[in-house]
Amino acid sequence: MNFSIEFITVFGGLRSAIRVARVVVETVALNHSNVRWYVFGDDDTIFLPENLVKTLSKYDHELWYYIGAHSEIYEQNRLFGFGMAFGGAGFAISSSLANVLAKVFDSCLERYHHLYGSDGRVYSCLAELGVGLTHVPAFHQILHACASHLR
């Protein structure tokens, strides 16, 4: 999908954050059948499919769920909020919620053009819909200092 200059001008803010945030809308717009969950993460997020399926199967995809985890870095939580799922850990949105979110997302982006990241924009739009984070520890970031031994 093309990303026009007009879109960037209207919404303002960091181009990459807007583009990544709109992936939610564009993924829902693909209108795949039998989708229960939409799962998003950063370019360096690692998902273990078996664990992800097991974790999400505990929740009803027909209800509104925003599942993930806050940052493991206190300063990030202090700056961006303890109720937000961080993209580095990944997050999931139930299909019923994603369909509603997609309808209001662009107008929401206009209101939150000042936010830094795409995950913060998604969180703010979900908060407007009255949906809080369902904190699931299975979604977590691997911090650089913790992963340095993996090199």
pLDDT, tens digit, for every residue of 39-73? Answer: 988 777 888 899 999 999 999 999 999 999 877 77
Question: Torsions phi, psi of 133, nearest 5?
Answer: -70, 130
Decide if 36 contacts 56 (C-beta within 8 A): yes
Query: Once rounded to an integer, what is the mean pLDDT over residues 87-114?
Result: 89
Instruction: Tell me which H or E stretch contains 135.
Output: strand 133-135
Decide if 56 contacts 108 (C-beta within 8 A): no
Q: pTM for the complete prediction?
A: 0.79
Instruction: Tell me which H or E stretch contains 18.
Output: helix 15-21
pLDDT, tens digit, for every residue of 114-145? Answer: 777 788 888 889 999 999 999 998 887 665 55
CATH 3.90.550.50 fits 5-150, yes or no: yes
C-alpha to C-alpha distances, 39 to 24, 82, 109, nearest whole angstrom: 9, 20, 20
Starting at the edge strand that comes first in sequence, how are the strands of the sheet with 133-135 ordered?
A: 37-40, 91-94, 66-68, 133-135
Tokens of 36: 């229960």
Query: Once rounded to an integer, what is the mean pLDDT over residues 95-111?
Result: 92
